[in-house]
Structure 1
């Protein structure tokens, strides 16, 4: 075990559990799934209940998957898709900086997940425990890990926006 592996473990666990906590909050926080669904409906992600379930479930699965380092490029792709949709539907009008509720945080989470997919989850991960020495292991890091995370994540996020996102009409003078 090296400092590199411990550093990756810390990064994976913090990012992963942070994302999983967001999913948990959508399911069980104030307003629960019904409140989350209403919020999704109000921003143009319809049907809201479907998207609330998909978002909460993906946040929990991607978060836990990244935290334990299991098939790392796949949960990293979930981060990319989630953060692209969040940045586009919620934060884009506010600019870049998080202090004005911009999309800065979304970018940091997505880029961090892709970077982990590129470096690999490290020796302190289920990827290493279960797949080290197998042909599959080569696809769980390096260029393959980066490509899987980025391409699959972008395709998922763009696809969801193209199929489901219908921004509400702007009113006012």
Structure 2
């Protein structure tokens, strides 16, 4: 049962980051693509915005794939942690803890779950090399 639980958690984390990555990179699911996301990054002081959009989108896409496949989880968790810490520092931190107020609660959950799964391991239902 533990392996099935890890698979469920990995898939959900993976889908979340695939979603965000494809929004930033391709404008899918209501996203703005690199250009629009880059402009937003510039507006919050992250420059060059297009580079930040491409790197964060690529990081989210790659980490999502790693979690879904269950491979290189420490790398995936590190990427997620870096991106979420950036989101906390630049966007959510000043708004306090509560997610409902735009705070950093959700970012911390994503960090904790991704690191926790990386520490436990991918379980039996993963690609193994």
TM-score norm. by structure 1 comes to 0.71
Counterpart position of 1:93: 94
Note the C-alpha offset of 1:28: 2.2
Runs of 4+ in 1 over 3 A off after TM superposition: none
RMSD over aligned Cα atoms? 0.9
Which stretches in structure 1 are left out of the alignment for 5+ residues? 131-173
Counterpart position of 1:6: 4
Secondary structure of 1:124 counterpart:
coil
Counterpart position of 2:105: 104
Counterpart position of 2:42: 41
Which stretches in structure 2 are left out of the alignment for 5+ residues? none
| Larger-Rg structure | 1
The separation in 2 between residues aligned to 1:28 and 1:53, in whole angstroms, is 10
The separation in 2 between residues aligned to 1:49 and 1:113, in whole angstroms, is 26
Counterpart position of 2:79: 78
Which residue of 19, 22, 27 corresponds with 2:20? 22
Secondary structure of 2:76 counterpart:
helix
Note the C-alpha offset of 1:65: 0.5
Deviations 1:33-76 (A, max 9, x none): 11000001111110001100000000000111111111111001
TM-score norm. by structure 2 comes to 0.94
What count of residue pairs does the alignment treat as equivalent? 126
